[in-house]
């Protein structure tokens, strides 16, 4: 599809859903017009149309919290756009990661976006002092140390599954996932490379 395929409303605008490319978290809903969508693709960063100020709005020009573009998708009717982005800071003007930080119903405690949030958090922790942070110590230490933890947690998860201890399985699998993320971080790899490898193997789409 081409940018020209986007259908703008009678007000000249198209709604743009903004999603974090690495966590899958929905960050905001904004609007674009033909010019802002052209500028978005030219600059590789989100440029919107501000409905309140009635002007082109290069997101982050004032706050510094820009939204570099990873991919741009169009829906079946061509009248809505999905932009996956890698934010340089909080997307919301309140300082929250996402503008959708308040609930009317339910919660997102079991949401998979937490995996991406944990990854971002671990990246930050890796810069902390090794005295304060277990994560920083693991990353600063020899690779064999975090590797050993992954082996151990793999075996502990295996034992919990084999003995059908569901509570222990959740506990050990969480340990395993945490140490696997730290191992990837220590190896200068990212979870995205694992998803890409899995996608190559499985025709799950």
54 interacts with a second copy by CB under 8 A: no
Nearer of residues 129 and 163 to a second copy, judged by Cβ: 163
Q: Of residues 18-37, which lie at the interface with a second copy (CB under 8 A)?
A: 19, 21-26, 28-29
Q: How many residues belong to the site for a second copy (CB under 8 A)?
A: 105
129 interacts with a second copy by CB under 8 A: no
Nearer of residues 61 and 174 to a second copy, judged by Cβ: 174
140 interacts with a second copy by CB under 8 A: no
CB of 131 to a second copy, least distance (A): 19
Alpha-carbon torsion angle 71, 74, 76, 78, nearest 10: -170
What long-range pairs does 27-36 form, CB within 8 A, spacing at least 24?
Answer: 27/67, 27/85, 27/87, 27/91, 27/92, 27/97, 27/98, 27/99, 27/100, 28/91, 28/92, 28/98, 28/99, 28/100, 29/99, 30/59, 32/81, 33/8, 34/6, 34/8
Q: Of residues 163-202, which lie at the interface with a second copy (CB under 8 A)?
A: 164, 166, 169-171, 173-174, 176-178, 180, 183-184, 186-199, 201-202
């Amino acid at each position: 599809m081409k940018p020209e395929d986007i259908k703008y409303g009678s007000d000249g605008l198209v709604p743009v859903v903004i999603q974090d490319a690495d966590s899958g978290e929905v960050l905001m809903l904004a609007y674009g017009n033909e010019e802002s969508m052209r500028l978005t693709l030219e600059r590789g960063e989100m440029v919107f149309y501000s409905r309140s100020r009635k002007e082109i709005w290069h997101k982050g020009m004032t706050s510094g919290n820009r939204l570099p573009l990873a991919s741009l998708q169009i829906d079946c009717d061509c009248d809505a756009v999905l932009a996956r982005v890698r934010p340089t800071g909080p997307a919301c003007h309140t300082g929250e990661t996402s503008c959708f930080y308040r609930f009317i119903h339910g919660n997102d405690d079991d949401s998979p976006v937490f995996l991406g949030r944990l990854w971002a958090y671990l990246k930050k922790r890796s810069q902390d002092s090794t005295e304060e942070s277990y994560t920083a110590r693991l990353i600063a230490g020899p690779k064999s140390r975090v590797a050993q933890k992954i082996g151990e947690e793999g075996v502990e998860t295996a034992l919990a599954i084999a003995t059908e201890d569901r509570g222990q399985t959740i506990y050990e699998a969480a340990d395993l996932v945490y140490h696997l993320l730290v191992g990837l971080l220590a190896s200068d790899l990212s979870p995205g490379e694992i998803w890409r490898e899995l996608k190559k193997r499985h025709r799950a789409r």
